Amino acid sequence: MLDLLLGGFYGDEGKGKIASYLAIKDMPDIAVRTGSINAGHTIMYNGKRYGLRSLPSACLNGTSTLAMAPGALIRRDVLFRELEETGSSTRLIIDPHTGVITDQDVEEERNSDHLKGTVGSTLQGVGSAESKRILRTLKLAKDYEELAKYMADVPDRVISALEDGKRVHVEATQGHFLSLYHGEYPFVTSRNTTASGVLSEVGIGPRYADNIIMIFKAFITRVGGGPLEGEITHEEAKALGADEYGTVTGRARRVSHFNPEVAKEVVRINSANQMAITKLDVKFKGAYKIRDYSKLPGEAKEWIEKVENEVGVPATLLGTGEDTMDVIDRREELIK
């Protein structure tokens, strides 16, 4: 069984939380990370905070094989630091075609007034490296001796696991509206962040995806330039407890209210069959750390059921606190 975990808005939806919860709950045989280091997945588990930029969030479960997709980009210093911090070195595999970001890529982006000013890029070298891949000048993981021991055919490993009846999680980065093709260009990232693009990065076809889970937050945030319908001021966001800061950049996130019409469009384009909603405890204070749906405040349940009706798919996973395990898991009840 393959579970594909995607961001529904502009990133920062809590993908790391949902991915780490599912990794611990489901214990997938393989967890694949797509995307690159310009998207950080923040996890709180057993009192410790992790800000992952390379490894799949399943690094916390201690058993899953951790795979870097051929379409992903890594930076070696970031990857090795996370391997050391999580003790995951023996579980990592990297596809030979995974791209490698260099210091030159970072420098090129930092010297770009367009990326710094107009786009509001994180300036991590990702776009520069992706452009070199298209020009066929990018160095790949197979070109680095220090990565040789991690080399593996990731599409083959994933497909073989699925054919053997094992479970695979694919963890995407950023969000639907940051897609290079389907987002609000030019205020986008350097890859296709939709379901089709993520599966392409892994190297598998759409029929392998059993569950496509769109991860939304109970409110919308984005970092950098570009439109944000219904945007509220930072002071208003702070009053709601919705003031947040980027994992990678530390920049304040812009905020607006949850938009079910937009969420419905995202679900349709990505052919999602489930959604997760995080930060429910920010919208409804009485939901904090609740892990049983029946114990949620009535107003929270009414809001969830309204969103489900408007968006058209069940909210199977609800985040109610900062810890990985602060989740209401309704999959058994709602997915037959």
What distance in Å separates the CA atoms of residue 16 and residue 57, rounded to the nearest whole number?
Answer: 6
Which spans in the chain are helix H? Answer: 15-26, 76-86, 103-110, 113, 126-134, 154-163, 195-202, 234-240, 260-270, 280-283, 298-311, 331-334
In whole angstroms, how far apart are CA 197 and each of 13, 140, 294?
A: 19, 20, 37
pLDDT for the residue numbered 116: 61
Name the DSSP class of 210: S
* Contact (Cβ atoms closer than 8 angstroms) between residue 34 and residue 7: no
Residue 301: is its pLDDT beyond 90?
yes
Residue 128: is its pLDDT beyond 80?
yes
Highest mean pLDDT among 12-16, 42-46, 49-53, 269-273: 269-273
Catalytic residue among 41, 97, 169, 182: 41
* Contact (Cβ atoms closer than 8 angstroms) between residue 141 and residue 94: yes
* Phi then psi dihedrals of residue 324, to 5 deg: -50, -40
Instruction: Tell me what the mean pLDDT of segment 38-43 comes to.
Output: 84
The fraction of the chain above a pLDDT of 90, given in percent, is: 78
* Contact (Cβ atoms closer than 8 angstroms) between residue 240 and residue 282: yes
3-class secondary structure for 254-315?
A: EEEECCHHHHHHHHHHHCCCEEEEECHHHHCHHHCCCCCHHHCCHHHHHHHHHHHHHHCCCE
DSSP string for 110-125? HT-HIIIIII----SS
pLDDT for the residue numbered 245: 75
* Contact (Cβ atoms closer than 8 angstroms) between residue 138 and residue 132: yes
In whole angstroms, how far apart are CA 237 and each of 75, 253, 326?
A: 34, 10, 23
With cut-offs at 50, 70 and 90, classify the pLDDT of residue 123. confident
Instruction: Tell me what the mean pLDDT of segment 233-243 comes to.
Output: 87
109/46: higher pLDDT:
46
Mean of all residue pLDDT scores within the chain = 93
What distance in Å separates the CA atoms of residue 122 and residue 159, rounded to the nearest whole number?
Answer: 33
Three-state DSSP state, 31: strand
* Contact (Cβ atoms closer than 8 angstroms) between residue 97 and residue 123: no
With cut-offs at 50, 70 and 90, classify the pLDDT of residue 223. confident
pLDDT for the residue numbered 59: 95
Distance, CA of 268 to chain centre: 19
pLDDT for the residue numbered 243: 81
pLDDT for the residue numbered 248: 63
CATH code for the structural domain at 2-334: 3.40.440.10
In whole angstroms, how far apart are CA 139 and each of 142, 155, 300?
A: 8, 20, 49
Catalytic residue among 12, 29, 95, 329: 12
The fraction of the chain above a pLDDT of 70, given in percent, is: 95
Residue 280, judged by CB atoms within 10 A of its CB (0-12, 13-18, 19+), counts as buried
**Each residue of 137-177: pLDDT tens digit?**
999 999 999 999 999 999 999 999 999 999 999 999 999 99
Instruction: Tell me what the mean pLDDT of segment 238-266 comes to.
Output: 85
* Contact (Cβ atoms closer than 8 angstroms) between residue 127 and residue 109: yes
Name the DSSP class of 85: H
Instruction: Tell me what the mean pLDDT of segment 76-87 comes to.
Output: 95
**Each residue of 82-116: pLDDT tens digit?**
999 999 999 999 999 999 999 998 888 776 766 66
pLDDT for the residue numbered 152: 98
113/67: higher pLDDT:
67
Highest mean pLDDT among 128-132, 185-189, 211-215: 211-215
Instruction: Tell me what the mean pLDDT of segment 238-264 comes to.
Output: 85
- Is 114 one of the catalytic residues? no
- What's at 217, amino acid-wise? K
Strand 2-7 relative to strand 274-278, pairing: unpaired
Residue 58: is its pLDDT beyond 90?
yes
The single residue listed with the structure tokens 């891949």 is 133
Instruction: Tell me what the mean pLDDT of segment 1-15 comes to.
Output: 94
Residue 214: is its pLDDT beyond 80?
yes
Length of the chain as a residue count: 336
Residue 168: beta bridge partners? 2, 30
With cut-offs at 50, 70 and 90, classify the pLDDT of residue 287. very high
Residue 246: is its pLDDT beyond 80?
no
- Is 12 one of the catalytic residues? yes
